Amino acid sequence: MLYTPGMSISEELFERACRVIPGGVNSPVRAFRRLERAPFFVKRAEGAHLTDEDDKQYIDYVGTWGPAILGHAPECVISAVQAAVPHGLGYGIPTRVEVDMAETVCRWIPSIEKVRMTNSGTEATMSAVRLARGYTGRRYIIKFAGCYHGHVDSLLVAAGSGALTHGEPDSAGVPAEFANLTIVLPYNDRAAVERAFASHPGEIAGIIVEPFPGNAGFYLPRPGYLEFLREITEKNGALLIFDEVMTGFRISAAGVQGKLGITPDLTTLGKIIGGGLPVGAFGGRREIMDCVSPLGAVYQAGTLSGNPVAMAAGLAQLNYLEQHDSYTRLEQLGARLEEGVRRILRDEQLPLTFIRDGSMFCLHFTTQEVYDLDTAMSGNFDMFRRYFHAMLEQGVYVAPSPYETGFISTAHTEADIDATLAAMQRALRLAK
């Protein structure tokens, strides 16, 4: 991309970025590559709105990909960061706020008796899988196609051609030997899980799953499916790992597990507990977590883990959520959006698939029921692309991919939702 007169500031910045950053971005989905346009560059964000470098404002439903449950720059988080910064940015030594955060996590999520902080969700899932193998003494991990658990080598794998297969690397640089220790199965398929355990008796360390998958669009488990995963892991001496990096503290105060009353052995967290700063965590039953160094033989470490500024930001966000009946508010806004979307789909005679739970949602550009990766991938990408451009033109920012989840924050207003619905109706007409 070469600079030409009349370029927007965002386009000029992207052209500069492409010279010094791979693809011009520091995370692939930000590139808008399949959408055939440059990404916009954000100048500032407040509440439910973003303002780009060209001073255009957008209603935001990406929410930093999940952390911004109170919206951008909430006063409680900004104040906590401002109070923490003068004391230093990090020490590499324990702090009081780390203990406060750990106690809060354990209080909110009953399945977590001990928790270890990390710097990202990827670190959390990597550590949880290592811990599952170390605790059980077994090699294999089951994951599900469409569930993303960060860019960990052994989890960055795609399903093969069959319902029961060892993983194949989904990225250059991932040795096949790593991927071969991961068994990739279709989500919502009980029989595939049963066959996996039957084929590897006494060898499966655990199952890692996004209980509500949010990285292939957003879809939900069939009734009883997560309970089935709990039962079959217990029966076979394997661990059940809930990856709630996205759903933790969002679907409910205790995540999906709290909403459905299911108790995993380990849980990974991130996003919301950082208040917008880089944080992750993994935790679970005491006897499992005590296998982590320095108590046990499973090594895990991080120079910036438990960073005091990040802990202060995340703790402020959690405290606000607890004190302000935030989940009732999020459900009200989500229900308003869902009611409006379903009305539009009826009025426009578009048999598309809309899925929502709480403040997470996705409009799938397919007429099929969506319950796994294959059905999520059946959508009409060209229709989505036209829809995305029309929404952006009207000042509404949805994820730049049909395979991502939308997020509502407590900073959204009824007026924001109604403006979004009006833009959506116009966008869908143009996208037909």
Catalytic residues: 148, 243, 271
- The answer to whether the beta carbons of residues 14 and 41 sit under 8 Å apart is yes
Q: How crowded is the C-beta side of 156, counted as CA atoms within 13 Å?
A: 12
Q: Would you say how long the chain is, in residues? A: 432
H-run or E-run covering 407: strand 406-407
CA gap 328, 254 in Å, rounded: 14
Instruction: Give strand pairing partners of 364.
Output: 353
- The answer to whether the beta carbons of residues 204 and 138 sit under 8 Å apart is yes
Instruction: Give strand pairing partners of 356.
Output: 361
CA gap 380, 17 in Å, rounded: 31
φ, ψ for residue 338, nearest 5 deg: -60, -45
CA gap 59, 43 in Å, rounded: 14
CA gap 182, 165 in Å, rounded: 9
b/e per residue 217-252 (b: at least 16 CB within 10 A)? bbbbbeeebbebbbebbeebebbbbbbbbbbbbbbb
- The answer to whether the beta carbons of residues 345 and 351 sit under 8 Å apart is yes
Peptide bond into 294 cis (omega under 30): yes
CA gap 407, 49 in Å, rounded: 13
Rg (CA), the chain: 22
Which amino acid is located at 183 in the chain? I
For residue 203, count other CB atoms closer than 10 A to its CB.
16
